[in-house]
Amino acid sequence: MRLVFCGTATFAVPSLRACAAHHEVAAVVTRADRPGSRGRPAPRPVADAAHDLGLEVLTPARIGAPEVVRDLLGLTPDCLVVAAYGQILPAPLIDPPPHGAVNVHASLLPRWRGASPIAHAILAGDAETGVSIMRMEAGLDTGPVYASVHLPIASDATTPLLTEQLAELGAAELTSVLHGLEAGTAVATPQLEEGVTYAPRLSRADGRVDWAACGAVDVDRMVRALQPWPGVVATLEGVDVQIQAGAVTATAPGVMPGAVAGREGESVVVATREHGYRLDLITPPGKRAMTPAAFLRGRRSGEVSR
């Protein structure tokens, strides 16, 4: 089949490679360059992969603009393939191709429709997640599903790890669905009306820990889910630090939430609403990542400022 591929984030790269291996990719549509941290350009995983594959790369500011829709349809695609693109495709673009538009979505729809399904699955403590290959329609991830694949969520799973696993699973399932579309055997099943949940975009506020309001399990899920964005920030002896790694642990009763309840080697245990959370690695403001014990030693010696 002749395809137009739309994707931006790392999750989309295996799907792009699968499309290029089995079909004709007329063009790759991705988001334009944007600033990254400390003035460096942000990573462009799909654009870089497309260039490596020798594919044409397009970076329209707004994919719904009439002239962009006209030009993309002018490529006469049999199907649009979308994975972690970052913009909503309009009906005038997804309806005309013979096989419409197929989306690789990192959840078991109808659970976790929206922009951040992997992180929200970890935050909610879901036992499993997966990938759904869906025929796109005007609603937000509401289209009928061609196929889905399930993946258990391990107790130590992080968003980057699940993203990598789901990206590969999604690419394999996409290959099967596109083959079915080409052969005329693919069937899309409408989503259930029950069990719908939404995974909105994450903000910095989502990564703020309130030790008195959160249990240790909640903090652990945040630290695992909110990597690399937006990160998790909590107060440690009056200083806001970013938590890079830690785990749920026991703590003595009666310790006020937010107070240091003990130490385990270079780690520090902080009391929460329920149980303790062991901080293993933190990043203080303006500093590199370090152990909490090293941070506290520096604080008391005057080497680390607020």
Angle, CA 10 vertex, CA 96 and CA 6 arms, to 5°: 15
**CB neighbours of residue 220 within 10 Å:** 25
CB 94 within 8 A of CB 136: yes
Residue that has been written with the tokens 């002749």 in this structure = 2
What is the spatial distance between Cα 236 and Cα 270, in angstroms, rounded to a whole number?
A: 8
What is the spatial distance between Cα 295 and Cα 247, in angstroms, rounded to a whole number?
A: 18
Q: Which structural domains are found in the chain, ordered by start?
A: 2-199 (3.40.50.170), 204-301 (3.10.25.10)
- In single-letter form, the type of residue at position 255 comes to V
For residue 198, give the DSSP letter.
E
SS3 32: coil
The pLDDT tens digits along the chain (306 residues) read 999 999 999 999 999 999 999 999 999 999 987 665 555 556 699 999 999 999 999 999 999 999 999 999 999 999 999 999 999 999 999 999 999 999 999 999 999 999 999 999 999 999 999 999 999 998 899 999 999 999 999 999 999 999 999 999 999 999 999 999 999 999 999 999 999 999 999 999 999 999 999 999 999 999 999 999 999 999 999 999 999 999 999 887 889 999 999 999 999 999 999 999 999 999 999 999 999 999 999 887 665 444
Could you tell me which residues come within 8 angstroms of residue 8 by beta carbon, excluding any fewer than 6 positions away? 30, 31, 44, 45, 46, 84, 85, 86
Q: Which helix (H) or strand (E) holds 208?
A: none
What is the spatial distance between Cα 227 and Cα 90, in angstroms, rounded to a whole number?
A: 30
pLDDT tens, position by position, 261-304? 999 999 999 999 999 999 999 999 999 999 999 999 988 766 54
What is the spatial distance between Cα 237 and Cα 248, in angstroms, rounded to a whole number?
A: 19
What is the spatial distance between Cα 134 and Cα 174, in angstroms, rounded to a whole number?
A: 10
According to DSSP, the residues that pair with 189 across neighbouring strands are 145
Tokens of 16: 């792009």
What is the spatial distance between Cα 225 and Cα 216, in angstroms, rounded to a whole number?
A: 14
Tokens of 289: 């990542």
CB 16 within 8 A of CB 28: yes
CB 292 within 8 A of CB 282: yes
Tokens of 103: 């989306």
